[in-house]
Structures are given as structure tokens and as C-alpha cells.
Amino acid sequence: MTASFPALRLRRLRAHDWSRRLHAENVLTPSDLIWPVFVREGTSEREAVGSMPGVERLSVDLVVEAAREAADLGIPAIALFPNTPQEARDETGKESANPDNLMCRACRAVKDAGIPVGLLTDVALDPYTSHGHDGLLSEDGRILNDETLGVLAAQAVNQAKAGADIVAPSDMMDGRIGVIRHALEAEGFGDVQIMSYAAKYASAFYGPFRDAVGSGGLLKGDKKTYQMDPANRDEAMREVMLDLEEGADSVMVKPGLAYLDIVARVKDRFNAPVFAYQVSGEYAMMRAAMDQGLLDRDRAILEVLTAFKRAGCNGVLTYFARDAAKLLAA
């Protein structure tokens, strides 16, 4: 027999702030946050990203300052995304293997400054290709899977050499986690983590990000032959299973808010570290409503991030990371 009203009054536990805090099932802390940072060329340059109010592209010296700020706020890791100069982009994205590319210079600068923050680097070709796709493109416009794998592995090793702590393949080629894991082992980077963008959906919510890294105008066609169909759930489980088998240390679901059912299912099924990416379009959408006074900024930021935790996330990549960490410190 289960007790029922009036023996059981669920409102009793909610009656006071102390009690609500005592009974909270999930608690958001700065340790749950990964802050994505956009990198640009130059010195002392900060440039607003038009489609993402409050987000800037930073030159390497200012990335170091951002990393320091993250560390001071208790944010464990930052995620770097380069806005590669257009003249350095080509069909095959070979700039991704350049040891002096923007990404590697930013990694080295943060590491050389001795800042105690994890560095997560994006592994994919889209910031480096003239066509804006994440893989190599055939003459007839297909994204080549197996041909792309070696390029991604070289990119990951290049980033590891520059100091990346976590390489995060976001390309969605089949088999890339295994190939990258082997390459890292072979080159002496057995301690570098792989956070796989395992279930990455072909989403409308990446639009502002492509503006931020300068690949939006370049992209021909869409990414539906490699990113997942938003209609699918079982397929996400198979993607996660394969990436864990191939050697991923943690997996990611992306986008975030509209995909929390996927997060919850991954967490329940695999008992592995799972992250979600609250992507640029989610950020832009919330900012637009906040900036118009339609949403209470502070409450909305913390509520949504707490929902990610409730769904099962170990952490969230979010453009609100700095704002959230400040709110949590207050």
C-alpha cells in the first residue's frame, strides 16, 4: 500500500528554500560546464559574432585570457573552434594538419601559460575546407568516408602534439574513433581523451555556429548523408555503441535541448560519460528572447542547464558557460 493524501503531501518538501535545496535531485555546478571559444587571427582582436549576441571570436592572446577566466570560474574545460582565414581553406582541408594552424597556436599558448584548464579540440574538416563539409568531397559531390579517416587522424595527432587534452571528432564519418584512437596510441598520445560527437543530428540549430567559424556561406548542400536524421533514436544507440567500442572515453549528443530523450537513453543504456552540446541556435534563440525581455535571463540559463543534468549529462558544452558559472558563484 502506498500512502496517499493526506498522509502524503508532496508539497511538504517544497515548502521552504532550505528543504528544496536539501531534496534537490540534481545540482548544477561550474564543474559541469565546457565553454566553446572561437579563435581568430591577430593580436588583441575581439570580434562580435553577429548571429550570437554576446559571443566573440578572439585572437590567440585573448583566448589565453578566456582560458584563465574559465579556470578562475571553476569551468573545467574550454572547447576551441578556429575561424580559419578563407585563404587557408582548400578542397582537402590540409590546413587541419598544419602544426602552426590557429587551433594549434591557441592550444600551445594556453598550455605555455600553465593554465589549469582542459583543452578540447574539434576534429573535423569544416573549418578548413573551401566547401564547408566535414569530410573530403568526391568529384560528383559525395562525402568520402574512408578517404577522410586518415585526414582526421592526422588532424587529431596534430592537435595532441599542440597540447589538446580531449580531441572531439564532430565529423560523423563511420569508423573514425577507432582510426583516431590507433593513431594517438601509435604517436605516444595514449592519455589523450576522445570525446566523440557520437549522435550528431543534421540540425537547423547549427546556423549561427557556421557564421562564427566562417563556413556558412561556403557550405554546398547539406550534411544529411553523414549527420543523423532528427527522427531517429535507435540509430543513436548504435552510433554510441560503436564509438565506445572503438575507444571513445565519452560521448556527446548534439544538439541539446530538443534531444534530451537521447541523452537519457544513452545514459541509461551505456553507463558511460555523456555530454550534450547546447548549440549555437539554441543559444541564439534564448538570447533573442532574453534580449527582448521575454525570458528571465538568469533563471532561464540555469533552468535549462539543470535540465541537461537531470537528463543524465555529465556536462554540457554551452555558450552560456561563463554566464552560468558567474551566476552559480553569486
The contact set with ligand FVT (CB under 6 A) reads: 122, 124, 170, 206, 209, 279-281
Report helix, strand or coil for 234.
helix
Distance in angstroms (rounded) separating the CA atoms of residues 317 and 254: 10
Report helix, strand or coil for 137.
strand
Count the Cβ atoms, other than its own, within 10 Å of residue 51: 18
Q: Which residue number is nearest to Mg ion in terms of Cβ?
A: 239
224 is catalytic: no
Distance in angstroms (rounded) separating the CA atoms of residues 158 and 155: 5
Q: Which residues contact 179 (CB under 8 A, 6 or more apart)?
A: 149, 150, 152, 153
Report helix, strand or coil for 274.
strand
The nearest distance, CB 15 to ligand FVT, in angstroms, is: 40
The nearest distance, CB 68 to Mg ion, in angstroms, is: 35
Strand partners, 37: 80
DSSP H/E element including 240: helix 234-246
Question: By the 8 A CB rule, do 129 and 90 touch?
Answer: yes
Distance in angstroms (rounded) separating the CA atoms of residues 253 and 228: 11
Q: How many residues bind Mg ion (CB under 5 A)?
A: 1
The nearest distance, CB 3 to ligand FVT, in angstroms, is: 47
Residue 79 or 88: the one with the smaller Cβ distance to ligand FVT is: 79
211 binds, among ligand FVT, Mg ion, none (CB under 5 to 8 A by kind): none
- Regarding 239 and contact with Mg ion (CB under 5 A), the answer is yes
- Regarding 171 and contact with Mg ion (CB under 5 A), the answer is no
161 is catalytic: no
Report helix, strand or coil for 68.
helix
Report helix, strand or coil for 295.
coil
Residue 189 or 319: the one with the smaller Cβ distance to ligand FVT is: 319
Strand partners, 80: 37, 121
121 binds, among Mg ion, ligand FVT, none (CB under 5 to 8 A by kind): none
- Regarding 134 and contact with Mg ion (CB under 5 A), the answer is no
Residue 189 or 320: the one with the smaller Cβ distance to ligand FVT is: 320
Residue 95 or 239: the one with the smaller Cβ distance to Mg ion is: 239
Which residue in 94, 111, 161, 200 is the catalytic one? Answer: 200
The total number of residues shown for the chain amounts to 330
The nearest distance, CB 272 to ligand FVT, in angstroms, is: 20
Which residue in 161, 223, 254, 267 is the catalytic one? Answer: 254
- CB half-sphere exposure, 82, CA atoms < 13 A: 30
239 binds, among ligand FVT, Mg ion, none (CB under 5 to 8 A by kind): Mg ion
170 binds, among Mg ion, ligand FVT, none (CB under 5 to 8 A by kind): ligand FVT
The nearest distance, CB 183 to ligand FVT, in angstroms, is: 20
Q: Which residues bind Mg ion (CB under 5 A)?
A: 239
Catalytic residues: 200, 254
